Amino acid sequence: MIQQFRDFLSALLHAIRNLLPIILVVVAFQALLLREWPQDAGSMAAGLLVVAVGVALFLRGLELSIFPIGKRLANQFARRGSLPILLAFGFAIGFSAVVAEPALIAVAEQAQQISEGRIDALMLRLVVATSVGIVMACGVLRIILGHPLHWYMIIGYIIVVIVTFFAPEEIVGLAYDSGGVTTNIVTVPLIAAMGIGLATSIRGRSPLVDGFGLVALAVMVPMISVQLYGILVYADPGNLSGNVGLVTSSKEGMSPAGPIQALLDLLVMLRDVLPILLVILFFQYLVLKHPLTNKLQLGVGFSLVIVGLYAFVVGLKLGLFPIGKQMAEQLIGFDSWFWIYLFAFAIGFATTMAEPALIAIGDQAEEAAAGKIKGNIIRILVAIGVAVGITVGVHRIITGDSIHYYIIGGYALVILLTAITPRYIVALAFDLGGVTTSEVTVPLVTALGIGLASHIDGRHVLIDGFGLIAFASIFPIVMVMSYAIVIEKLAHTRGRIS
């Protein structure tokens, strides 16, 4: 029991450390530039603490329940050598992990509220989760067959660009953001470990070249599926979702209050996490036909996942969302846009440098590359890429330019770089584009975009407010690939001189 408490404290300190860069940037701007504190600063601080507690409980629950049993299942399936079962397990794990993703839940709820119910939050999450499940199965098959990843990415992003031409402008930014929030501290290590472990166990496969890439595919395919969902949703201007009442009911005073509402919210979280439990029970009892061990530990862990997810969502509403919107509103009050650009760059760089999923991927890449790649250099390159990406995204909102041109131009550059980048870095570069947005960064960046679009004349919140996460995913890919190309050129130049 004492060890469990220590592990929780460690997870809590880890979550607070991830929040610290955001707090430092916000405090620096408030103290040195704005020179005033928000009226509800106490509520925001409490919200940040609740976020940290929620993340800590959520991660401890995963470590006690879902992670260990998921790894055992993967090992048992690998030993069986059954391709259909392995593909089915890949789909199920991808779907169940993403449908309960806190950052995706936050973005989906914001989209439903802003679209006045036309975009259904649950349907959006199901579309994204199904896409990731299919991608996980296809990615596992790619590793088994030994297909090079760059053709998958080039063809995939060509399809992304084509679909973007036909997608309604209300859905484009949200679609690209949905791709960016499918991978974070929970899903990235699990997906990356599955890919690297599979590549290591198959003769003739390279962990660096073949093991990475599942995260990249999990980011790309939801961009296509959500845009297709948007084409269907906006095909009929009068086809509004029936969930408008759910969005506005709290304003009408009809929602239950106090403990009853908290219990209902917890039941919603149980519904969100239930797919993971059902996947585990199905494969454990009906496929492997082995009983679960440590049932008490699994029960406690699963309960912590639900409570942690609930606390996280509550903390978002109290802390991160208000901070992003208020900072946007305050900075717009200045005559110069420079401070908004500077805030966007600082938030992007600071949060990414502390991103635990990026640290984990960087360490795995350094180990798999056997000296070709340095984890610290990768982190700095990715952090600069995220900072530049969010700054470019903020510029798009300020100018009111169409996101279509930015996104199509960005991914056209990515496709070009993919064709000329050294093959050993391609899969890693795309994966790094998917690990830059965590459960802490996504809500703040989303709130910043929505806040800017809400307070700049002529901007539409749904059209202009989303999209910042997409830019945060594109530019790290560009930075890492450009770095690899330059290093390769320098190596060839030195070889000729010597």
pLDDT (tens digit, 9 = 90+) per residue, 159-199?
Answer: 988 898 888 888 888 887 787 777 665 566 567 666 776 77
Radius of gyration of the chain (CA): 22
Could you report the per-residue pLDDT of 199-245, keeping only the tens digit for each?
A: 777 777 777 677 777 777 888 888 899 999 989 888 765 544 433 33
DSSP assignment, residue 120? -
The label of the residue with tokens 């699963």 reads: 302
What is the C-alpha to C-alpha distance for residues 406 and 478, in angstroms, rounded to an integer?
14
The answer to whether residues 157 and 414 touch, using CB atoms and an 8 Å cutoff, is yes
Structural domain contains residue 387: yes
> Measured between alpha carbons, how far is residue 190 from residues 42, 239, 263, 269, 335 in Å?
36, 39, 30, 21, 46
Q: What is the 3-state secondary structure (H, E, C) of the chain?
A: CHHHHHHHHHHHHHHHHHHHHHHHHHHHHHHHHHCCCCCCHHHHHHHHHHHHHHHHHHHHHHHHHHHHHHHHHHHHHHHHCCHHHHHHHHHHHHHHHHHCCHHHHHHHHHHHHHCCCCCCHHHHHHHHHHHHHHHHHHHHHHHHHCCCHHHHHHHHHHHHHHHHHHCCHHHHHHHHHHHHCCCCCCHHHHHHHHHHHHHHHCCCCCHHHHHCCHHHHHHHHHHHHHHHHHHHHCCCCCCCCCCHHHHHCCCCCCCCCHHHHHHHHHHHHHHHHHHHHHHHHHHHHHHCCCCCCCHHHHHHHHHHHHHHHHHHHHHHHHHHHHHHHHHHHHHHCCCCCHHHHHHHHHHHHHHHHCCHHHHHHHHHHHHHHCCCCCHHHHHHHHHHHHHHHHHHHHHHHHHCCCHHHHHHHHHHHHHHHHHHCCHHHHHHHHHHHHCCCCCCHHHHHHHHHHHHHHHCCCCCHHHHCCCHHHHHHHHHHHHHHHHHHHHHHHHHHHHHHC
For residue 236, the model assigns a pLDDT of 63
Q: Write the DSSP assignment of 61-112 as a string of letters.
A: HIIIIIHHHHHHHHHHHHHHT-HHHHHHHHHHHHHHHHHT-HHHHHHHHHHH
Write the CB contacts of 328 (distance below 8 Å, at least 6 apart in sequence): 340, 447, 448, 451, 452, 454, 455
Out of 149-158, 211-220, 430-439, the most confident range is: 149-158
For residue 249, the model assigns a pLDDT of 36
pLDDT at 434 over 60: yes
Token pair in block for residue 427? 């899969």
Of the candidate ranges 72-76, 106-110, 202-206, 243-247, the one whose mean pLDDT is the lowest: 243-247
Of the candidate ranges 28-37, 211-220, 364-373, the one whose mean pLDDT is the lowest: 364-373
Question: For the residues 304-310, what does the mean pLDDT come to?
Answer: 81
Structural domain contains residue 243: no
pLDDT at 283 over 50: yes
Structural domain contains residue 246: no
Write the CB contacts of 309 (distance below 8 Å, at least 6 apart in sequence): 54, 58, 100, 102, 105, 269, 272, 273
pLDDT at 253 over 70: no
Q: How confident is the model at residue 355 (pLDDT cuts 50, 70, 90)?
A: low
Could you report the per-residue pLDDT of 404-424, keeping only the tens digit for each?
A: 788 888 888 988 998 888 887
Structural domain contains residue 114: yes
Percent above pLDDT 70 for the chain = 80
Percent above pLDDT 90 for the chain = 8
For residue 254, the model assigns a pLDDT of 42
For residue 251, the model assigns a pLDDT of 37
The structural domain count of the chain equals 1
For residue 389, the model assigns a pLDDT of 92
For residue 387, the model assigns a pLDDT of 92
Beta strands (DSSP E) in 244-365 are: none
What is the C-alpha to C-alpha distance for residues 473 and 467, in angstroms, rounded to an integer?
10
- Note down the domain range covering 100: 2-237+256-497
Token pair in block for residue 245? 């009442």
| Nearest CA among 161, 154, 157, 106 for reference residue 128 | 106
pLDDT at 441 over 70: no
Q: How confident is the model at residue 478 (pLDDT cuts 50, 70, 90)?
A: very high
Token pair in block for residue 239? 């086809």
Neighbouring CB atoms inside 10 A of 252's CB total 8
The label of the residue with tokens 């800590």 reads: 56
Q: How confident is the model at residue 279 (pLDDT cuts 50, 70, 90)?
A: confident
Per the rule left: phi > 0, alpha: psi between -120 and 50, beta: everything else, 256 is beta
For residue 371, the model assigns a pLDDT of 60
Question: Residue 242: helix, strand or coil by DSSP?
Answer: coil
Q: How confident is the model at residue 359 (pLDDT cuts 50, 70, 90)?
A: low
The label of the residue with tokens 């408490």 reads: 5
Structural domain contains residue 44: yes
Question: For the residues 321-333, what does the mean pLDDT come to?
Answer: 77
Structural domain contains residue 248: no
The answer to whether residues 150 and 426 touch, using CB atoms and an 8 Å cutoff, is yes
Residue type (1 letter), 387: A
Structural domain contains residue 302: yes
What is the C-alpha to C-alpha distance for residues 232 and 167, in angstroms, rounded to an integer?
9
Structural domain contains residue 251: no
The mean pLDDT value of the chain amounts to 78
State residue 212 phi and psi, 5-degree precision. -85, 165
State residue 437 phi and psi, 5-degree precision. -120, 110
pLDDT at 325 over 70: yes
Write the CB contacts of 492 (distance below 8 Å, at least 6 apart in sequence): none
Task: Name the more confident of 241 and 297.
Answer: 297
pLDDT at 158 over 80: yes
The answer to whether residues 29 and 327 touch, using CB atoms and an 8 Å cutoff, is yes
The answer to whether residues 165 and 175 touch, using CB atoms and an 8 Å cutoff, is no
Task: Name the more confident of 256 and 116.
Answer: 116
Is-above-0.75 flag for pTM?
Answer: no
